[in-house]
Structure 1
Amino acid sequence: MTTVRQILRYARRLGQASECSSKALNRSVRCASTQLQPKIIEDVNGKRIFASPCEFTPSEMFIHEYVWKNVDIYENHTALICAATGKTYTYSEARDTANYIARSLLNMDLRKGDVVALIAPNYPESILAFLGILEADLIVTTVNPFYTPDEIKKQLQSSGAKAIVTVAEISKHVLTVSKATLPAGAPVVVIEDGTGPVPEGTVPFKDLVDRGKTLPPLKHTHTSVNDMAVLPYSSGTTGLPKGVMLTHKNLVSNMEMTDKTASGTMFRYATSDFQEVVPLVLPFFHIFGMNSVVLPRLASGSQLISVPKFVPEQFIHILAKYKVTGLCVVPPLVLFLNATPHVKKDFFKNMHHVIIGAAPLAEADVERFYDKFQMDSDKLKFCQGYGLTETSPAVCMEVTGKKMGSVGKNVIGCDLRLVDPITNEDVTVSGQTGEIWVRGPHVMRGYFNNEAATNEMIVEGGWLKTGDIAYCDDDLDFFVTDRLKELIKVKGFQVPPAELEAILRTHPDVVEAAVVGIPDERCGEVPKAYILAKKGSTSTEENIKNFMKGKVSDYKELQGGVTFVNDIPKNASGKILRAQLKSQYK
C-alpha cells in the first residue's frame, strides 16, 4: 500500500526536476538565459574582470547537510558499491553509518576543531568516515594512502592530527607513524578491507559503527559554515606541501557553482526509475575526486562504484557489468581506453559524457577514442575542466564537448582575471596570455599556519593568483597553456620539485640538484633530475634513481631520468632557474 509519506516524497521529486530545493531553483532562474555567458566588466580600479555569468548566492549549509539533504528521496537507491569487497550501502544505510561514526568519534574525547587524518583508498567506508568526521564538527585532513611513512609523518605533524582512520592493508606502518607523531592514546580506526587482520591497539571500523548505534543522538554544535572543514595538502605555486584551509562554505559553494554551470548538460538527479552510475577511479583524497565527483554525486542520488586501486582488468569488468552513465578521469585513463583491445563500444552505450580534470587532454587523444569506438561528440561528450585545491576545486568548465583543448568558461559564481605576470596589467586582447587570477566563495581561507604563503597567493581584493598561464578566445573560452608555478603534474598529482631536490641533496655524492617536469605521453609529465656531483664521484643515473626509491611515492620517482651537469643555473638570489633547464631539455 502506498503511504502518505511515499506520496509526499514523489511530489517533492516532481518539484525537483533540475534542482534539489526551491531555494536553489529560484537562484537558477536568474541564470536561465545567460548561463555560461561571462561578461567582461571593469571595476572601479580599472581591472578587467571576466565576471560570473549570473548572480550567485551560495547556500548556508554544512557539507554533510548538503550531501544528505534529500536522502529520504533516495533512501532505497544504492549509494555505494565497492569494486574490491563487494560491500554495498543504500542511501539510508550510508546516512545512518556516517551518523554513527560521528557519535563514536565524539565519544573518543575528540572535540570541535580537532583534526582527524583519513589515510585510505577509495572504499565506501572511507567516504562515510569523511562525512562522519564532518558531522562530528571535526576537521578531516586527507592523506595519500600510497605515501611513504616519512611523507605521512610530515602531514600528520603539520596538520596536528589527533586521530587517524585508515585501512588494514597499510595499518601497521600507519600505526607505527602514529605512535611517533600523535598524542599518547590517540585513536587509530582501521577499516576492514579484506587484506589482513586489524592490528591490536586499533579500533575496527565495524566496532566504531556498532558503538555509535548505542550512543545518544548528536547535539547540533556546528556554529558557522565559515569554519574549516577539510585540510588537504597542496604545494600552491611552488615549494613544499601546505595545508589548504577549506571551509564548509568553500566546498558547498563550489558544488553548487558547478551544478548550475552544468545544469541540463551533464549529470541528472535521481528519480524513481533513473540513477546515474559513476565509477570512482579518481582518488577520494584528491580534491577532484572529493568535491567534483563523490560529494556532489551523492547529493544528487547517483550510484558510486568505488575503486580502491586501479587494476585494468577490474576497471574493464566495471565498464562491462554496470550501466555506467558518466566517467570522471585524468588523461592517462583515456589513453588506457584507447590502447587496450579489451574495451568494447558496447560498454559506452549508456554513457553521456567523460569529464577530464587535473591535467589537459590532447584533442588528438579524443579523436583517437572516437575513431576506435566509431562515436562522436553527439553520442558521448568529452568535457574538460580546470581548478585547484585552493579553489575547492572548479574554476572553469567546458560543458558542450565541442571545443577540445579548452577548459571552457568560468563557472557560475566565479570571477576571473588574466594578468600579465611581467607588467602586472590585465590582458585586454583576445589570444594574449596572462596568469589566471580567481575570486569567489570557493577560494580557500588560506594556508594552515602559513600566513606568508597565504599573503603571497591571495592578494588585495581577494584575488587568488593561480600560477597558471592561459588565454581566452573571442567566445570567452579559456585555454591553459603553461604554468608559472614549478609543480610537476604526474597523472594529475602534484610533485613539488623542491621536495625531491631536498632529498637528492642528502645523497653523499650530490652537491646540488634541480628537478623539472618533462612531457610524458602516459603520465602528462614526469620528474627529471639535473645533478651537480661531487668531484671524483662515481654515481650513475641508476644509483641516483635507486636512492629515491622508498623515500618518495612511486609517482614522484625520477621517471624522466638523471642528467649530470657542471652547473645548476640560478638567478642572483640563488633561486634555481628551472624554466631554463626545461628549455634546454626541449
Structure 2
Amino acid sequence: MSVRANKPFGSLIYELLRKHVETSKNKVAFINVENKTQILYKEIVEKSGSVISLLTDMKSLECIDRVAICSENNLNYFIPVLGCLYLGCPIVNISHTYAKIELLNAINTTKPSVVFCSRAMFAVISSVCLDNNLEFVKKIIVLEDIDYSDANNTKPDVVELDNHDVVAAMMFSSGTTGLAKAVMLKHENISYFYNQFQDEKLLLSHVLNTLVIVPFSHAYGFIMTLVLLATGKTVKFMTKFNEDIFLQSVEEYQIDSLTLVPPLMVWIAKSPKVDEYDLSFVKHIVSGGGPLAENVIEAITKRLPNITIGQVYGMTEVTLAATCTPLDYIPAKAFSVGKALPGVKIAIRSTSLVAETFLGPNEIGEVLMSGPIVTKGYYKNTEETENTFFNNGYVASGDLGYVDNDGYLYIVDRVKDLIKYNAFQVPPAELEGLLLTHGDVIDAAVVGLKDDTHGELPFAFVVKKANSELTASDLQEFIQKLVSYPKYLRGGVQFVDSIPKTPVGKILRRELRDLINRVIV
C-alpha cells in the first residue's frame, strides 16, 4: 500500500496503522531480536489510544505542552510517541545514554509535563527531577507498568491540526560542541520522509526490510521506525549492539538491507566474524552519520561483491538526510554521499564570506541545505537558531565539502575539526581513513595538539589489534609515506582501548582533546 502524505503526520499514521490492523489482525509491529519478544499492530493501535486517555485525563496537557520519553530501544517506546502525534503534542526524545548533567539539561530545556521512561531509567530520571526541584514534571510514567486494561475500548480523538508546521517531536543534536540543543521537527518534515521512502527511484525505498540498531531517541532510529510503521513493516530492533546477535538476526530474519553508521561499516569490512554467517540475503547497505573512507567501501565491496553500498548525508537539523546515493549511481561516485533528495537544495559557501555567497562546482566550502527537510530551529534558543538557520531558508552544516559537476556531494571534514598546522588546513578524517588501511589498526581518531610554534600538530589515537607489535613510530612512518608534509603525525600517536563516540558513531573529539592533556607530559 502506497499513500502519499497530504496531511499532518499524526493523522496520517493513525489511519495507516488502522488499515494495517484491518489487513491482518496478527500483523507483528515490533520484534526484539535479542529475546524474541514482540508486539502486534493491533496492540500498538489500542495502547497508543489508551495513552491519549491517560494524558488527557491528567488535565495538565494542552497542545503547547510537551511530553518526554527516555528509554533504551523498547517494545513500548513508540506507544506514547504515537499517542502524542495523534494529539498534536510534541514528544521530546531524550537519550538513555545521557549522564545526569545531560539529562538535567534536556529536561530543563524542554520542560515536559510528563516523562515516560523504561524501568532501567526510572531511578535516574526521578533523581534528576527531585534533586533539582523540577516541579514542572507532573508525572513520571514507567513504560512497562502502564495499565492498558481499557485499551480495547479506547478510540482516540485524533487532533486535526490546521497545518503541517506544528512541532511533532524534539530531538537533541549530538552536543559535540557543548550541551545538546533541542531540535524541533515538524509534522511536514516527517511526512516528507514518509513519501521519499516510498519513491522506488530512490535507494531509501529499498531499505525497509532492515534491522534497527540505532537508538530510537536519535533522528536516524526515530524517523526510520516511524516510516517502517507507516508502511506496515515489522520493526526488528536491538536494544544494544552485539556482534553475534546482529549477524545471527540478519541471517535468521533474512534481512535484505542494512542501515549502519561508519564505525559498523569499518567492522563489517574488517571483522573475521562476518565470514561465519550467511549474509546472502543482504542486497543494500546504507551508511549515515559521517562520510565513509574509500578503503572501507572498497573492502566491503570486495568482501560482499553482490551488495550495493550507499550513503546518506544530513543532520538532526534537517530531520534525517539531505542527500542519498541514487540507485543508478556511477561507480566512480561511490565515495560521495550522494545527490540532493527531491525538493532539497545543496549550496556551498566560502568559510570566509557571508552566508548568501555561494561557490561553484568542485570548490570546497561549508555545506548548506534547504527544502522541506529543514526543521523549525532550536527550542528556546534564539541565538543558536539564528547562527544555524538562515533567513534565506538554508541551514549551516558545519561540514566542509564540495559538489561536483554531476551534482554529487563530497564531505571533506568538519569546519571546526580542521587542524591548523602553520598556514595549512589538515582534515582529520583524511588521516583517519589512511590509518584504517593499516592491517593492524582497528579504529583511529585524529585531533590537533596545541603547539606554540606551529599552531596545532596532528595527533592520533589508535586502537590496534590484540597482540600487535605495532609502534607509534611505525604508524608515523606509515602516514609519512602517504601524505604531504603538513599532515605528518608529528604530534604523536597514542594507543587506546577504544575511541569515544556518540551512540551513532560520531567521534567525541572534545573528549580526545581532554585526553591529550592527560597523556602528554
TM-score range, shorter chain: 0.7 to 0.9
Deviations for 1:463-510, whole angstroms, at most 9, x for unmatched residues?
A: 22222221122221110112224599xxxxxxxxxxxxxxxxxxxxxx
Is 1:61 the counterpart of 2:14 in the alignment? no
**1:414 shift after superposition:** 0.8
Match of 2:497 in 1: none
Give 2:107's aligned residue.
156
Is this contact kept in 2: 1:84–1:307, CA < 8 A?
yes
Which residue identity is paired with 2:370? Answer: R
Q: How does 1:18-167 map to 2 (within 5 A)?
A: 20-21=2-3, 24=4, 59-63=6-10, 65-66=12-13, 69=16, 70-71=19-20, 72-73=22-23, 76-109=26-59, 110-167=61-118
Alignment match of 1:396 (pick from 323, 347, 354): 323
Equivalent pair of 2:11/2:159 in contact (CA under 8 Å)? no
Q: Report what 2:373 is aligned to.
A: 442
1:304 to 222, 232, 235: 235
Residue 331 of structure 1 is matched in structure 2 by 262
Q: What corresponds to 2:226 in structure 1?
A: 295
Question: TM-score if structure 1 supplies the norm length?
Answer: 0.68
Paired residues of 1:258 and 1:412 also in contact (CA < 8 A): no
- Quickly say closer, same or farther: Cα 1:464–1:561, change in 2 above 3 A: closer
User: Does the 8 Å CA contact 1:122/1:280 hold for their aligned counterparts?
Assistant: no
Q: For the aligned residues, what is the CA RMSD?
A: 3.4
- The residue number in structure 2 matching 1:359 is 290
Q: 2:216 aligns with which of 262, 265, 284?
A: 284
Cα 1:390–1:523, aligned 2, differ >3 Å: closer, same or farther? farther
Farther-moved stretch of structure 1 (235-244 vs 317-326): 235-244
- Following superposition, the deviation at residue 174 of structure 1 comes to 1.4
Determine the structure 1 residue equivalent to 2:310.
Answer: 383
The structural deviation recorded for 1:285 is: 0.8
Q: 2:404 aligns with which of 452, 458, 473?
A: 473
TM-score using structure 2 length: 0.76
Q: Quote the offset at 1:344 in angstroms.
A: 3.6
Q: Distance in 2 between matches of 1:390 and 1:73?
A: 36
Asked if residue 422 in structure 1 is aligned to residue 352 in structure 2, the reply is: yes
- Note the residue ranges of structure 1 that are not aligned, 5 or more in a row: 1-15, 25-57, 193-203, 270-275, 489-515, 533-551, 566-586
- Give 1:251's aligned amino acid: I
- The answer as to 2:509 corresponding to 1:563 is no
Distance in 2, matches of 1:458 and 1:259, equals 28
* Aligned match for 1:413, one of 343, 355, 360: 343
1:248 aligns with 2:174: no
1:58-83 residue CA offsets vs partner (Å, 9 max, x unmatched): 73322462475252446543221012
Please give the per-residue CA displacement for 1:73-114, whole angstroms capped at 9, x wherever unaligned: 465432210123422123233222222222222223322222
Q: 1:436 to 1:451 in 2, by over 3 A?
A: same
- Please name the residue that 1:576 is paired with: none
Query: Aligned partners of 2:399 and 2:312: how far apart in 1?
Result: 14
**Residue 82 of structure 2 aligns to a residue in which SS?**
helix
Q: Which amino acid in the other structure matches residue 426 of structure 1?
A: F
Does the CA-based 8 Å contact 2:49-2:154 persist in structure 1?
Answer: no
For 1:410, the aligned partner's letter is A
Q: In the alignment, what sits opposite 2:455?
A: none
C-alpha distance in 2 between matches for 1:136 and 1:524 = 45
Structure 1, 221-230 or 69-78: larger mean CA deviation: 69-78
Q: Does 1:267 align with 2:199?
A: no
Identity of aligned residues (%): 22
Which of residues 125, 147, 168 is equivalent to 2:119? 168
Shift of the 131–456 alpha-carbon distance from structure 1 to 2, 3 Å rule, reads same
Secondary structure of 2:73's counterpart equals: coil
CA-CA distance at 1:215 after TM superposition: 5.0
Count of residues in correspondence between the two structures: 442
Report the CA distance shift for 1:472/1:106 in structure 2 as closer, same or farther (over 3 A): same
User: 1:355 and 1:408, CA in 2 relative to 1: closer, same or farther beyond 3 A?
Assistant: same
Change (3 A) 1:81 1:64: farther
User: CA 1:217 to 1:330, structure 2 compared with 1: closer, same or farther past 3 Å?
Assistant: closer
| 2:139 match | 187
C-alpha separation between the residues in 2 aligned to 1:529 and 1:137?
Answer: 48
Alignment counterpart, residue 322 of structure 1, candidates 249, 253, 263: 253
1:124-156 CA-partner distances (Å, limit 9, x unpaired): 211222222222322111111011122101110
Q: CA deviation at 1:320?
A: 2.8
2:105/2:179 contact within 8 Å kept? no
- CA distance in 1 between counterparts of 2:124 and 2:33 reads 25
CA distance in 2, matches of 1:306, 1:478: 31
Q: Is the partner of 1:479 in helix, strand or coil?
A: strand
Tell me the alpha carbon deviations over residues 395-414 of structure 1, each in whole angstroms, 9 at most, x when there is no partner: 00013363322111100011
Which SS does the other structure have where 1:342 is aligned?
helix
3-state SS of 1:124 partner: coil
Distance 1:411 1:435, change over 3 A: same
Inter-CA distance 365–111: structure 2 relative to 1 (3 Å threshold): same
Partner of 2:483: none
Structure 2 vs 1, CA of residues 237 and 462 (structure 1 numbering), >3 Å: closer, same or farther? farther
